[in-house]
Structure 1
């Protein structure tokens, strides 16, 4: 059995975690520095509040009536939207970022290690598979989709929220890519239909939220629906040339839980890697940002 890993992506020029603490994080995306909530940063800040205030171009403030929504207080020189590039491991991607009412900006930098993994596994398949077929579920604004497409895969991108698929299509255009299959659909319904059709994929990527709604009001609750979804994914994964990645952001889920699910539903998988994704701030504090499990032929 593989050991639990802590994965911190290689530094990249257009992102850095400057500081974290007091349930907040201070980050630089390109030319702009943001301050926003972070529930896992339970320690003290390393920098003074006055330093945070001086640096931040935008600060997210939660709405007292909502645990999720809020608004941004911005300086006059803050641009919205703006752009960052990711050039690493043979990838050259461009992302549009924007200040949303849910505190997100359209990019999860801790996923950079998974992008590199996706690119390497697809390129490793190319001698045996002319056009690897990749399925990205709960695909959001498409970081993993773009990495897979740029590496040479045919990609199906599935998300229930039409505006984020529009955002992902823009990122495709900005990255100079084409021919991604976009599906605005409930993930569970889509996967079940693919199983009935007998389709197979060389790569499957999942980023399921804790809670969600499909385009027709379908309810998604992670702990209630993940087991059945993974059963369907096991039926969709190619038998010979494959990789699989799942990321979980719910605070109550551990990598041990995911390991149990994978071993029960997929069997004795080859080359498993599992543990926590994290980012390190300038003061060497490691901020956990979710658990992952991945394996490949």
Structure 2
């Protein structure tokens, strides 16, 4: 089992974690927001968190998912951060949302560099890459900057618009944007006989498609993995899946991957994590990735 974390980068820092919260710096701004995995004590005092934070997220008592942000200091919203590492130079739009997210999952930076290196290493002139449940598209931008022909699929039109802004700020173009339910999209692609050299899968625990299609991770993950196996090129390929769900262990994912894909060359699997400035390691989901090239 691999414990995977991104290399340090100037525009992001996990300052502290604990008491089911995390204190993070995104560029110029520090945010406090819920984190269900941080069950230990904070290292810094409550007063120090309040002193540092520009905004803190407060859950709505009527909703387990939604809430609002309490502004403690002046800040821009939206704003941008920059990611420069291993040949990548991306500018990403961030904003405060009612779901506590800001448009960036910093632990995924470890996969951005992997995607960039995989696209560069594949002996294909312009690898076709499919990003499913693509959200604000850091992975799509990494693949596109490496030279891939990228298809970005998400069911929320506003998120697609957000991704497009980050693409333009990163001086990129020609990503194919698809507003559609991911399950419907991959089934149609399989019927058409289309294939991809790279597939990135980052499904939520629960979700809704643009026409009300229901996504439940436990019920549909097995099926979409089988379809992805059919879509993946048989000669030159890479595949990445991330799962952020408290009910899924790396062993469950290992079993699914072996069943659906068989041989997994250059495979890595385990947990994604970030380390705060007090050396506490915060787990942020399980992952599996493999490729036809040795990276």
Q: Could you say which TM-score interval applies, normalised by the shorter chain?
A: over 0.9
1:62 pairs, out of 49, 59, 62, with 59
1:139 aligns with 2:134: yes
Partners of 2:50 and 2:215 in 1: how far apart? 38
1:91 aligns with 2:83: no
2:21 pairs, out of 16, 19, 24, with 24
Secondary structure class of the residue paired with 2:25 = strand
Rate the CA distance shift 1:221–1:62 in 2: closer, same or farther, 3 A.
Answer: same
Partners of 1:164 and 1:209 in 2: how far apart? 14
TM-score, normalised to structure 2, is 0.98
Partners of 2:24 and 2:264 in 1: how far apart? 36
Partners of 2:151 and 2:6 in 1: how far apart? 25
Secondary structure class of the residue paired with 2:57 = strand
Question: Counterpart of 2:285?
Answer: 290
Question: Counterpart of 1:49?
Answer: 46
Question: Counterpart of 2:231?
Answer: 236
Structure-to-structure mapping, 1:106-145, within 5 angstroms: 106-125=103-122, 128-145=123-140
1:185 aligns with 2:192: no
Shift, 1:78, TM fit: 1.5
Task: Count residues with an aligned counterpart.
Answer: 292
Secondary structure class of the residue paired with 2:171 = coil
Question: Counterpart of 1:264?
Answer: 259
Shift, 1:79, TM fit: 1.2
Partners of 1:291 and 1:249 in 2: how far apart? 7
Unpaired stretches in structure 2, ≥5 consecutive residues: none
Kindly indicate whether the alpha-carbon contact (under 8 Å) linking 2:53 and 2:73 is maintained by their aligned counterparts in 1.
Answer: no
Shift, 1:76, TM fit: 4.2
Question: Counterpart of 1:204?
Answer: 199
TM-score, normalised to structure 1, is 0.98
Partners of 2:44 and 2:262 in 1: how far apart? 47
Segments ≥4 residues shifted beyond 6 Å? none
Secondary structure class of the residue paired with 1:232 = helix
2:72 pairs, out of 72, 75, 85, with 75
